[in-house]
Amino acid sequence: MSTDFEMVVGLEVHSQLLTRTKLFCRCENRFGALPNTLVCPVCLGHPGVLPVLNREAVRLGIRLGLALGCTVHAHSVFDRKHYFYPDLPKGYQISQYTHPLLTGGVLTVRSGEGLREIRLHRIHMEEDAGKNLHAGIRDASHVDLNRAGVPLLEIVSEPDIRTPEEAVDYLKKLRQILRAVGVSDGNMEEGSFRCDANISLRPNGTSAFGTKVEIKNMNSFRFVQKALVYEYERQASLLQRGERVVSETRLFDSSTGKTSTMRSKEEALDYRYFPEPDLPPLVIDSRWVQEERDRLPELPQERVRKLSEEMGIREPDAEVLLLEEDFFRYFEEARQELSALARAGSWPEAQGTSRLVSFLLSEVLREWNRKGVPVLSGELRPGEIAYLVAQVVEERLSLNQAKEVYALCVEELRSPKTVIREKNLSQESGEEKLGEWIGEVLAENPAEVQSYREGKDRVFGFLVGQVMKKSAGKAHPQKANRLLKDALGR
């Protein structure tokens, strides 16, 4: 990436709410039903219908606001936002414009090794549109209105984000909070968590904002990262050539990794916002807010702090463990199994926990990202991971052997015990046996021994490799190292 410019990013997230019914009618709010089976005159925009606000959606809005430290406004207003599109039955979307439910608040994200606070601008309630379907239909488009009227919260950040990594962490942390307070399932594939980005560049060390571009259609965290990197490079090269960035809306294409113009500022729609006359202003009693505050669960940041204090896990690691509830539950079960093994083997529990965390964050997380939930729910049970980690702590297996076992287990759907037995894997740390292998290696490689003794340190690595090879990978690496050094007498 070019380094002359600073990236300035603000994110707009649309999150669907986990309500039983839609925002303004009693139709079911559910993904995946047959097209146009979850509809009624209200969400179809028939003549003469009126919206009735779903209080559960408001309650979830209040909960999110409290979790993010927003101001919950006692008085907010719904507005109509107008545009013509076949998936928008009324020709307008009921949203909130001048007086949103929530303003302010912050979300703390990881920035390198440190933390940064991203301020929130506002969060408002609105209804989702339906979906236009084009695929597989010749000369026609179909419209599915099951999603029309599903409740959304639009969460708008201030332009406080400075790197693609911060943007991705912001989205992950936001999704975690949405899930923690029961507002949303945060499912990006099903579209219940969607993100648009506003990005501009400015010369390093300056404070005025550059011209911003809005990017749409980034439906995974990876695409957000890619789109921001691409857009940064695009804008930077324009600016370096002395050209200007055009204010516009661009679409990200995941197949090319590029963004392209969707509509320019001149083509921007005039939404003709005005207060929704069919809904009185939304008035929220302060007692209601207090009730929700009292019912709020422990928030992710607090859990990270506790986990770190109680188990000595680094905060960044604790954050990753807590990012997904499934993953954390898996960790918790494995940890409990491991603590039983620690008691049985009389070794310190903390040593196991730290080994477990690093194993989960490397091997298991990689596999999970690749294959998804099956890794957690079936392929290797938490108890089996605990067993594998205990083998390393007890020095029966090297870390590399354990990783190899894990890979085989996941691939061949077998238990660690079976793999270890069949591959005849174990670790040799007995000094007698190690000494025997070392003696043989020294005898077989007199020239290398000679040059090491003359000061060529590089040769040491070669000799270690020979010992590992002779042991068929079973030699305890650290011990073999120490004994080899002793034997060479340097």
Report in angstroms how near the CB of residue 87 gets to another protein at its nearest.
9
Our CB check for another protein shows the closer of 53 and 188 to be 53
User: Cβ 281 to another protein, closest distance in Å?
Assistant: 11
Q: Which one of 3, 34, 47, 455 is in contact with another protein (CB under 8 A)?
A: 47
44 binds another protein (CB under 8 A): yes
Q: How many angstroms from the chain centroid is the CA of residue 19? A: 23
**CB of residue 236 to another protein, shortest distance in Å:** 32
Q: Which is nearer to another protein, 263 or 371 (CB)?
A: 263
Beta bridge partners, 367, equal none
Of residues 4, 37, 41, 325, which one binds another protein by CB under 8 A? 41
Residue closer to another protein by CB (options 45, 383) is 45
Q: Look at phi and psi of residue 379 and say left if phi exceeds 0, alpha if psi is from -120 to 50, else beta.
A: alpha
User: What is the 3-class SS of 220-253, one letter each residue?
Assistant: CHHHHHHHHHHHHHHHHHHHHCCCCCCCEEEEEE
- One-letter amino acid at 213 equals V
What amino acid occupies position 348?
A: P
| Number of residues forming the site for another protein (CB under 8 A) | 29
Select from 1, 243, 274, 472 the one that contacts another protein (CB under 8 A): 274
* Per-residue contact flags (x/-) with another protein for residues 280 to 319, judged by CB under 8 A: x---------------------------------------
Q: What are the phi and psi torsion angles at 84 (to 5°)?
A: -95, 125
Tell me the backbone φ, ψ of residue 94, rounded to 5 degrees: -85, 120
Is residue 56 near another protein by the rule CB under 8 A? no
Q: What six digits make up the tokens of 156?
A: 């708008």
* Dihedral sign for Cα atoms in the order 399, 402, 406, 412: positive
Please enumerate in sequence order all residues whose Cβ is within 8 A of that of 7, keeping only pairs 6 or more positions apart, or say none: 161, 162, 163, 164, 199, 201, 228, 232
Question: Which lies closer to another protein via its Cβ, residue 54 or residue 200?
Answer: 54
Task: Using the structure block, give the residue that is written with the tokens 């309630």.
Answer: 125
| Interface with another protein, residue 90, by CB under 8 A | yes
Q: Helices (DSSP H) in 266-398: which residue ranges?
A: 286-294, 300-311, 315-323, 325-345, 349-359, 365-371, 374, 382-393
Give the number of residues written for the chain. 490
- Tell me how far apart the alpha carbons of residues 187 and 18 are, in angstroms, rounded to a whole number: 11
Residue 59 in the binding site for another protein (CB under 8 A): no
CA distance 232 to 199: 8
Interface residue with another protein among 20, 74, 91, 244 (CB under 8 A) is: 91
53 binds another protein (CB under 8 A): yes
Among 279, 311, 449, 487, binds another protein (CB under 8 A): 279
Region from 95-103, 273-281, 419-427, 476-484 binding another protein, contact rule CB under 8 A: 273-281
Q: Is 33 in the site for another protein (CB under 8 A)?
A: no
Judged by CB under 8 A, the stretch of 45-53, 179-187, 210-218, 316-324 that binds another protein is: 45-53
Query: SS3 for 153?
Result: strand
Q: Among 45, 104, 473, 477, which residue interacts with another protein (rule: CB under 8 A)?
A: 45
Which residues ranging from 126 to 155 are in contact with another protein (CB under 8 A)?
Answer: 141, 143
Q: Which is nearest to 150 in space by CA: 69, 63, 33?
A: 33
Taking contact as CB under 8 A, which single stretch among the options 86-94, 156-164, 438-446, 451-459 is the one that binds another protein? Answer: 86-94
Which residues would be at the binding site for another protein (CB under 8 A)? 41, 44-53, 80, 82, 84, 86, 89-92, 141, 143, 270, 272-274, 277-280
